[in-house]
């Protein structure tokens, strides 16, 4: 007999799933029956939140859904935070869990791992959460999940298998071929209108978000055709080449870019929420668009949030950009165009006015000199906040972190592990703070076990530095922020990692050069000279 749990694994394998993140329990062992010999690699984290963050990092790099196998109850409450992070950043994730027997659901009898209503709890951090009441439903529900990943706004999906369903026979089911859901295309008349308004404009501005992550070439051609200075969200970083004359980076919360947004007569925003963590990290509500706003988004509701559009186009980003390009006059990259001059003026102003990040710029230059292809997966810490402003990279999916959206501390270490598993040939640098790393530190053991060679760059200022600064600025006596920080080097070595404290920039470079490919290396950097003033 093939059980439902076994069949599920076969179906996932047929749909190109190559990695599963999970911690087995008595409730999920039936999912594990089919795994050995399936060709699917199983990665065991040390906490379900780690599983979720690993799946998130894996998905952001591979573009494929990160898949997790999670136990009923505590496993699901543990992973809920990671699902919240993925939900906020529109990351595809498939969470398969167990749940108690169908006839026991909602009883409150105190069965092992019982929650009052697990499905309802998880539904708040998922595109949908479904209880599989019969084996027969499985093909449809999986197809729905992949329709979200392929053709909709990607988000976590949760499917729970009651214990009496997971063990039931699936002999009557056959593995289905994957039918890729179509991506929504734009309406021709809306594209015509948009192209007309954009052509007539004098001062265009392009706002690009993570929804465009698959379209670096189309984004560049659109920016050039529009001759529009282009701002990227954190999740869109790398979508314009670093040296592009129209690039103004990810500085939408800073006055020079805000002025540009106010002066623009037509603003085209594609695949971006226009959300707070990209456009208003100073929390003053002053990112304003005075001209006409044209929005493109795969999510119809999202088109109406934060800034109301004059023209709303519900479409996949790539399809909309290609359609627009057909209606716009061709223009080549030109360093002397009026758009390039406007972008250059903004870049100059940013460089002149925001000099406080010079030491971070030096740090990143020093890293990129040794590892020019590196990918940076960050937490919520000083190197991340500053890097969001000062780092530009060639190519997308190379800079993401937990300073956006949900903003969960502890994300950066496990997400880096997932990122490295998705593309093992590219160096991955996990940017962590001494506070954030303590949330998920045991995942170092998972990385050692799975032979994942990530580089953890630990910025140590002995406390929740950012929060301390906020307290001081608001005249609140700092409390709860000067935390005890352990000896990270000894701990990391205890987990089986290599670990060193960088003495200076040259030493850091030599450590980076010798980082092993199959074992984590933790490099501690003190927030003190020579790395900080
Ligand atoms: C799960 C979670 N708890 C609390 C916070 C609030 N928070 C945001 S940044 C921060 C400080 C983090 O300290 P550290 O990682 O050392 O970074 P630093 O600011 O010192 O560079 C805290 C506590 C959060 N973002 N996420
Ligand atoms: Mg700190």
Find the ligand nearest to 407 CA. 1
pLDDT on residue 328: 97
Measured in whole angstroms, the distance separating CA 295 from the mean position of its chain's CA atoms is 22
Find the ligand nearest to 382 CA. 1
pLDDT on residue 187: 98
Q: How far apart are CA 524 and CA 11, in angstroms?
A: 43
Q: How far apart are CA 477 and CA 473, in angstroms?
A: 10
Q: How far apart are CA 85 and CA 82, in angstroms?
A: 5
For 65-115, the pLDDT digits (tens) are: 999 999 999 999 999 999 999 999 999 999 999 999 999 999 999 999 999
CA distances from 214 to 237, 372, 521 (A): 12, 21, 30
E strands, 396-517, where?
Answer: 399-401, 428-433, 455-460, 498-501
Measured in whole angstroms, the distance separating CA 321 from the mean position of its chain's CA atoms is 22
- The finding on whether 495 has its CB within 6 A of some atom of ligand 1 is no
Q: How far apart are CA 297 and CA 186, in angstroms?
A: 10
Q: How far is the CA of 479 from the centre of ligand 2 (A)?
A: 14
Pick the CATH number of 354-526 from 3.40.50.970, 1.10.10.410, 3.40.50.11750, 1.10.3720.10: 3.40.50.970
The length of the chain is: 533
pLDDT on residue 81: 98
- Ranges of the chain whose pLDDT falls below 50: none
- The finding on whether 462 has its CB within 6 A of some atom of ligand 1 is no
pLDDT on residue 273: 98
* Domain coordinates in residue numbering, the chain: 4-166, 188-352, 354-526
pLDDT on residue 510: 98
Alpha-helical regions (H) of 63-106: 74-88
Q: Which residues pair with 70 in a beta bridge?
A: 97
pLDDT on residue 463: 98
Identical fold between 188-352 and 354-526: yes
- The finding on whether 436 has its CB within 6 A of some atom of ligand 1 is yes
- The finding on whether 464 has its CB within 6 A of some atom of ligand 1 is yes
Q: How far is the CA of 381 from the centre of ligand 2 (A)?
A: 7
pLDDT on residue 484: 96
pLDDT on residue 533: 96
pLDDT on residue 413: 99
Grouping H, G, I as helix, E, B as strand and the rest as coil, residue 36 is coil
For atom 3 of ligand 1, the residue with the nearest CA is 409
Nearest atom in ligand 1 to 409's CA: 26
State the distance between the two ends of the chain, measured CA to CA, in whole angstroms.
Answer: 67
pLDDT on residue 145: 98
- Per CATH, which fold does 188-352 belong to? Rossmann fold (3.40.50)
Nearest atom in ligand 1 to 459's CA: 21
Q: How far apart are CA 229 and CA 343, in angstroms?
A: 5
- The finding on whether 25 has its CB within 6 A of some atom of ligand 1 is no
Nearest atom in ligand 1 to 469's CA: 19
pLDDT on residue 53: 99
Grouping H, G, I as helix, E, B as strand and the rest as coil, residue 63 is coil
Residues 4-166: name the CATH superfamily: Thiamin diphosphate (ThDP)-binding fold, Pyr/PP domains (3.40.50.970)
For 246-298, the pLDDT digits (tens) are: 999 999 999 999 999 999 999 999 999 999 999 999 999 999 999 999 999 99
Angle, to 10 degrees, between the axis of helix 74-88 and the axis of helix 48-62? 30
Question: Contact 310/283 with Cβ under 8 angstroms?
Answer: no
List CB-based neighbours of ion ligand 2 within 5 Å. 433-435, 461, 465
- The finding on whether 434 has its CB within 6 A of some atom of ligand 1 is yes
Measured in whole angstroms, the distance separating CA 5 from the mean position of its chain's CA atoms is 29
- The finding on whether 386 has its CB within 6 A of some atom of ligand 1 is no
- The finding on whether 374 has its CB within 6 A of some atom of ligand 1 is no
Find the ligand nearest to 532 CA. 1
Q: How far apart are CA 447 and CA 454, in angstroms?
A: 8
Q: How far is the CA of 370 from the centre of ligand 1 (A)?
A: 29
């Amino acid at each position: 007999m093939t059980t439902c749990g076994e069949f599920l694994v076969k179906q996932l394998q047929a749909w190109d799933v190559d990695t599963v993140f999970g911690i087995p329990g008595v409730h999920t062992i039936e999912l594990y029956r089919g795994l050995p010999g399936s060709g699917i690699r199983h990665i065991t984290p040390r906490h379900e939140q780690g599983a979720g963050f690993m799946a998130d990092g894996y998905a952001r790099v591979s573009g494929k859904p990160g898949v997790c196998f999670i136990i009923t109850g505590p496993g699901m409450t543990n992973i809920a935070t990671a699902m919240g992070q993925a939900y906020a950043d529109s990351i595809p994730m498939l969470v398969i869990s167990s749940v108690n027997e169908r006839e026991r659901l909602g009883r409150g009898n105190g069965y092992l791992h019982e929650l009052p209503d697990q499905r309802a709890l998880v539904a708040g951090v998922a595109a949908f959460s479904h209880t599989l009441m019969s084996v027969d439903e499985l093909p449809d529900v999986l197809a729905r999940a992949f329709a979200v990943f392929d053709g909709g706004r990607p988000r976590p999906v949760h499917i729970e298998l009651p214990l009496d369903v997971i063990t039931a026979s699936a002999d009557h089911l056959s593995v289905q071929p994957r039918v890729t859901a179509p991506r929504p295309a734009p309406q021709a008349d809306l594209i015509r209108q948009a192209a007309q308004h954009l052509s007539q404009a004098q001062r265009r501005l392009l706002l690009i978000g993570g929804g465009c992550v698959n379209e670096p070439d189309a984004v560049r051609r659109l920016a050039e055709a529009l001759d529009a200075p282009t701002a990227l969200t954190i999740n869109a970083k790398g979508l314009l080449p670093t040296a592009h004359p129209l690039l103004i980076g990810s500085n939408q919360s800073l006055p020079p870019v805000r002025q540009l947004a106010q002066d623009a007569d037509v603003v085209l925003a594609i695949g971006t929420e226009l959300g707070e963590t990209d456009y208003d990290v100073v929390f003053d509500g002053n990112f304003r668009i005075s001209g006409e706003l044209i929005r493109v988004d795969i999510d119809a509701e999202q088109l109406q949030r934060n800034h109301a559009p004059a023209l709303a186009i519900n479409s996949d980003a790539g399809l909309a950009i290609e359609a627009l390009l057909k209606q716009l006059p061709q223009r080549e990259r030109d360093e002397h165009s009026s758009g390039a001059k406007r972008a250059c003026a903004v870049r100059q102003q940013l460089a002149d006015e925001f000099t406080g990040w010079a030491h971070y710029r030096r740090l990143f230059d020093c890293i990129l000199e040794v590892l020019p292809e590196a990918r940076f997966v960050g937490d919520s810490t000083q190197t991340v906040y500053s890097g969001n402003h000062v780092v530009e990279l060639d190519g997308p999916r190379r800079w993401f972190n937990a300073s956006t959206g949900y903003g969960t501390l502890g994300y950066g270490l496990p997400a880096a592990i997932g990122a490295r598993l998705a593309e093992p040939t590219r160096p991955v640098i996990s940017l962590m703070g001494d506070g954030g790393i303590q949330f998920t530190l045991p995942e170092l053991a998972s990385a050692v076990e799975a032979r994942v060679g990530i580089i953890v760059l630990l910025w140590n200022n002995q406390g929740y530095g950012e929060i301390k600064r906020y307290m001081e600025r608001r005249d609140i006596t700092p409390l709860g922020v000067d935390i005890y920080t352990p000896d990270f080097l000894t701990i990391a070595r205890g987990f089986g990692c290599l670990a060193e404290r960088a003495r200076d920039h040259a030493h850091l470079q030599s450590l980076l050069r010798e980082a092993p490919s199959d074992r984590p290396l933790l490099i501690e950097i003190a927030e003190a000279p020579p790395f900080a003033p």
